Amino acid sequence: MDNTRLVPLPGSERSAHADARSTGAVSDSERIEVTLVLRRRTEIPDELVEGPETITREELAARYGADPADIDMVKRSAEQHGLTVTQADPASRRVKISGTLGQLRSVVQADSLTMVTTPDPAGEERMVEHRQRTGDLRILPEWDGVVIGVTGLDNRPQARPHIQRMKAHAVHSSYSPVDLGKIYRFPQGTDGSGHTIGVIELGGGIPEGDLDAYFAELGIPTPRVDVVEVGIGSNAPGDPADGEVMLDIEVIGALAPGARQVVYFAENSAQGFADAISTAVFADPTPTAVSISWGQREDLWTAQGRAILDAALADAGAMGVTVCVASGDNGSSDGDPTGKAHTDFPASSPRALACGGTHLEADPATSTVSSESVWNNGNGSASGGGVSLKFNQPGWQANVGVPNGNGQDPRRGVPDVAADADPKTGYRVLIHGRDEIIGGTSAVAPLWAALTVRLSEALGHPLGMLQPVLYDGAAPGVSPAGFRDITLGDIGDFAATPGWDACTGLGVPDGQALLARLASV
């Protein structure tokens, strides 16, 4: 087959996984479904993404979705090459095509595609087998400039769950999520009723009976939890990621028991991650918030992979959806063995509310805080944060003292906000019938998602992309109203200071003060 006429897809270059071990070739007869992401008919303006105006799914599709002519052209050419079009969605700009690898090579091809094994990021003591591509992708010339991203050929695990377990003897203190709602003064008289929170999971499942047992312990009715399986993803308990799944659901259910949760299970791959976020954001009804506790170092994503997710987060902002993302659990290096500073993506996207972590000492009986500092237990167990190497600094973050990274133009600072994340002062949850103490910024993303829906309930409208409002009034050395500033501790390369810092952002929430501030806007 002559594939010399295929043209390079910008931003698609991908390196081999550092720990990959080859297990053989990928058979030409293997059936694969890939996702094609198409250009917008018109670029979406920052003013719309950042609010306060919002638009509906239908309005977004008509103004900023894919052009129907582009979709028709892509579908027609795929079918002419013997491929099956399994989905075409103008709003999310996704066209899914399926066929054998031999058929797919006529429209999209990698420099190299092999089967390999790599460590499972959700449990590195086991290996997972998957397809791995290297080099650039090449696509049909008629797709050049129309198709801006292709995912699915390489299905390596893309993200890590940002969860930390601690042995019981090492725990200083622990809290139920209900305790933390009181300590952080979540708005009284609210429980998230009438709102939906999307929860992104790239593995694991919901063990039978755990939710009923956990919420019975708390004296709270079991919240409504619906499951959506995206692509080949499945609700499959018995996986190392079960702890992540249950932490997310139990934190949200305890702090916003009236909210409906929709848990999106997808394959842990660039394709699965992006498809899960788009499916959640464009769901009916539109969610008030989405919680994401998974991520990976920015440099371990392709440029197209970052762009696809960032665009989905822009769609979320335009429709009034607040996306809360864990900032990482490995300090300023984000797990780079060389110690070089990195931020975690998608938390580093300016469209994400990046959620960092603290060490909290408080009395649950009185909700009195004796001390709160940056979470850093050494050996890479620390709140993620720093300065993005990939995203420019948004205007709303320009005057808070974000340091310039490596002499570059001003870049996005991470995180934006924080809450308790240290497993030594962790969250009491139930997993497989066992009480556990768990931490990590994985707990902070669902906490902030729950706070968001309770604020939205009190205000009577969704909040969308919160950052421009949250940063209003911030200045070097000054955190705005609605936050308790965290000024002690470090994450390695960055130390806490008064005002915004790359450890805990603007600080931890004072929910009632934040409600009063938002009500006055």
Name the residues annotated as catalytic: 244, 248, 442
Angle CA(171)–CA(173)–CA(174) in degrees, nearest 5? 100
What distance in Å separates the CA atoms of residue 490 and residue 209, rounded to the nearest whole number? Answer: 40
CA 389 to chain centre: 18
What distance in Å separates the CA atoms of residue 439 and residue 384, rounded to the nearest whole number? Answer: 13
What distance in Å separates the CA atoms of residue 203 and residue 245, rounded to the nearest whole number? Answer: 8
| Token output for 338 | 């060389």
CB count within 10 Å of CB 58 equals 11
Q: Is 382 exposed, middle or buried (0-12, 13-18, 19+ CB in 10 A)?
A: buried
Comparing C-alpha atoms, which of 318, 288, 325 is closest to residue 196? 288
Comparing C-alpha atoms, which of 378, 480, 475, 368 is closest to residue 422? 378
Comparing C-alpha atoms, which of 284, 371, 386 is closest to residue 333? 386
Comparing C-alpha atoms, which of 260, 344, 342 is closest to residue 295? 344
What distance in Å separates the CA atoms of residue 101 and residue 82, rounded to the nearest whole number? Answer: 12
DSSP codes of every residue in 151-182: ESS------EE--EE--GGG-S--B-HHHHHH
What distance in Å separates the CA atoms of residue 266 and residue 272, rounded to the nearest whole number? Answer: 5
What distance in Å separates the CA atoms of residue 49 and residue 314, rounded to the nearest whole number? Answer: 6
